[in-house]
Amino acid sequence: MKAIVSVFAKDARGITAYVTSLLAERDINILDISQTLMQEYFAMIMLVDLEACPLPFHELAKELQDKGAERALDIHIQRSDIFEAMHRI
């Protein structure tokens, strides 16, 4: 299953490293990545493959959210179909 991981936070050092290692520890493969700064806010969007991830989706979502909260990051994970459905005919 492919999913979109999105990370929003105030810009700080090491956010990308922290989030990508969270994903690697859970056997999640990053297929594509983009990041931007909007004023002082950091926004990172990743397309990931969950094929090898052993966790059920809802547990994974909860873990990422909790781990994100420890560093004041807002981390979401959602199946990618929702974005395609909404923005593509």
> What is the contact surface with other proteins in residues (CB under 8 A)?
4, 6, 31-32, 34, 36, 43, 45, 47, 57-58, 61, 76-89
Identify whether the C-beta of residue 54 lies closer than 8 Å to the C-beta of residue 27.
yes
For other proteins, the closer CB: 36 or 39? 36
CB of 42 to other proteins, least distance (A): 12
Element (H, E) at 28: none
Question: Closest CB to other proteins among 22 and 48?
Answer: 48
Query: Can you say how many angstroms the Cα of residue 75 is from the centroid of all Cα atoms in its chain?
Result: 6
Smallest gap from Cβ 12 to other proteins, in A, equals 19
Indicate the helix (H) or strand (E) that contains 76.
strand 74-79
Taking the complex as a whole, the smallest distance from the CB of residue 44 to other proteins amounts, in Å, to: 9
Least separation, in Å, of the C-beta of 87 and other proteins?
A: 4
What are the Cα distances from residue 41, in Å, to 37, 44, 73? 6, 10, 11
